[in-house]
Amino acid sequence: MTGITIRRAVAICTLAFGLASVVAPAFAQGGAVKGKVTDAQGQIVVGAAVAIENLTNGTKAIVTKTDKKGEYIQVGLSAGDYKITITKDALSATKQIHVALDMVMADMRLGAGGDAGKATGSKEDVAKAKAKADAMTKAFADGVALSNEGKADEAVAKFNEVLAVIPNCPECYANIGTVQTQAKKYAEAEAAYKKAIELKPDFSEAYNGLANVYNAEKKFDLAAEASKKAMELIAAPAAGAPGATGAVAAAPSASQVFNQGVILWNAGKIPEAKAQFEAAVKADPNMADARYWLGMALVNTGTPEAMKEAKPHFEAYVKLAPTGANVETAKAIIATIK
């Protein structure tokens, strides 16, 4: 390959340097349960097994443990009735709760006088709570559907309908952030994501959404900071495990890794961006945008070897996204690579 060919390819890449669309998914609805476990003397119980069984759909129980403060937490629960069973040594206790889209507090006591498996509240109270939860679940789902249809104002109205009843719904605020980002109302999106993070400090997706807002506003330093926080939270052990014992770190999704690459690219950190695009392609070889931008990162190195390595990624992009926004650029670069 001649030097002229390399310079031409790099020039094409420079024209495209503005990059980058990021992935902005809707956030699923979810409730949470949190509690502290104590013994008959009121002392905290560390390392007690906590089984959270969904009585509504009969799925396999979620199992966690109390931490060094005797506390446990489980997020991302669908609306429904749950039975919580606490066990430690020869002692056990149970409690039934109803989860909607908010945080349910369920402290438990082991030993004499402890919880004995009775449902909290009367049947009438439980029925009212279920009806309320069902209504809010429907309103939330309607908001997601309207968001996917591009009906921003109507979607926000639905999420606000849920917030009027359940003000501490981080997923509602996160979805409002997504909708407002798509509508290019970045100030409103930023405020919504920050509220979601205030309610749920370990909400990695909300940090990722906030990074997308800053990226769109070309506030690249803030975008990189928010994206870094999102990745740290994703890689952290699951909440609720005592001292992270037995917890498994979550793997970032291809879209999350790709978004990190986008932000690094726009901040001018091309080698770091290249590493993220490579990771995204490894996680999902059929992610067209990741293929394209990995090719662009390789082109930016300016070496014949990198150009040859970039070619199959551009070819994959053309095949995966034949009507994509960058198809003509990809084809032009392919034509320069001998």
- Would the pLDDT of 274 be above 60? yes
Q: What angle do CA 8, 293, 197 make, to 5 degrees?
A: 145
Residue 211 sits in a domain whose CATH number is: 1.25.40.10
Range 7-16 average pLDDT: 35
193 and 265 part of one domain: no
Q: How far apart are CA 45 and CA 271, in angstroms?
A: 48
Give the Å distances, CA to CA, from 96 to 31, 69, 78.
15, 23, 15
Q: How far apart are CA 109 and CA 45, in angstroms?
A: 9
212 and 184 part of one domain: yes
Secondary structure (3-state) at 119: strand
106 and 130 part of one domain: no
79 and 56 part of one domain: yes
Q: How far apart are CA 208 and CA 32, in angstroms?
A: 21
Q: What is the pLDDT of residue 286?
A: 93
Q: What is the pLDDT of residue 301?
A: 84
Q: Comparing 228 with 248, which gets the higher pLDDT?
A: 228
Where does a domain end: 217, 237, 263? 217
Question: Whose CA is closest to 64, among 47, 43, 81?
Answer: 47
101 and 170 part of one domain: no
Residue 65 sits in a domain whose CATH number is: 2.60.40.10
Q: How confident is the model at residue 185 (pLDDT cuts 50, 70, 90)?
A: very high
Q: Tell me the residue range of the domain where 79 lies.
A: 31-119
Say if 229 falls within a structural domain: no
Say if 13 falls within a structural domain: no
109 and 150 part of one domain: no
Q: Comparing 234 with 207, which gets the higher pLDDT?
A: 207
| Token pair recorded at residue 118 | 């009775």
Secondary structure (3-state) at 57: coil
Say if 144 falls within a structural domain: yes
Q: How far apart are CA 6 and CA 300, in angstroms?
A: 9
Which residues are registered as beta bridge partners of 83?
53, 96
pLDDT in tens, 27-38: 555 667 888 999
The packing angle between helices 3-15 and 288-299, to 10°, is: 130
Neighbouring C-beta atoms of residue 37, cutoff 10 Å:
28
- Would the pLDDT of 117 be above 50? no
Where does a domain end: 201, 217, 233? 217
Q: What percent of the chain has pLDDT over 90?
A: 25
Where does a domain end: 99, 119, 139? 119
Q: How far apart are CA 293 and CA 263, in angstroms?
A: 12
Q: What is the pLDDT of residue 116?
A: 47
83 and 142 part of one domain: no
Say if 233 falls within a structural domain: no
Range 201-211 average pLDDT: 87
Taking all residues of the chain, what is their mean pLDDT, rounded to a whole number?
78
- Would the pLDDT of 235 be above 80? no
- Would the pLDDT of 242 be above 70? no
Q: What percent of the chain has pLDDT over 70?
A: 77
102 and 172 part of one domain: no
CA neighbours within 13 Å on the CB side: how many for 274?
Answer: 14
Number of domains within the chain: 3
Question: Whose CA is closest to 31, among 170, 193, 145?
Answer: 170
* Residue 16 amino acid letter: A
Tell me the whole-structure pTM to 2 decimals.
Answer: 0.60
267 and 315 part of one domain: yes
Please provide the distance, in angstroms rounded to a whole number, between the alpha carbons at the two ends of the chain: 6
> Are 293 and 313 spatial neighbours (Cβ–Cβ below 8 Å)?
no
Say if 160 falls within a structural domain: yes
Say if 280 falls within a structural domain: yes
Say if 236 falls within a structural domain: no
Q: What is the pLDDT of residue 228?
A: 85
Neighbouring C-beta atoms of residue 201, cutoff 10 Å:
11
91 and 153 part of one domain: no
Say if 203 falls within a structural domain: yes
292 and 318 part of one domain: yes
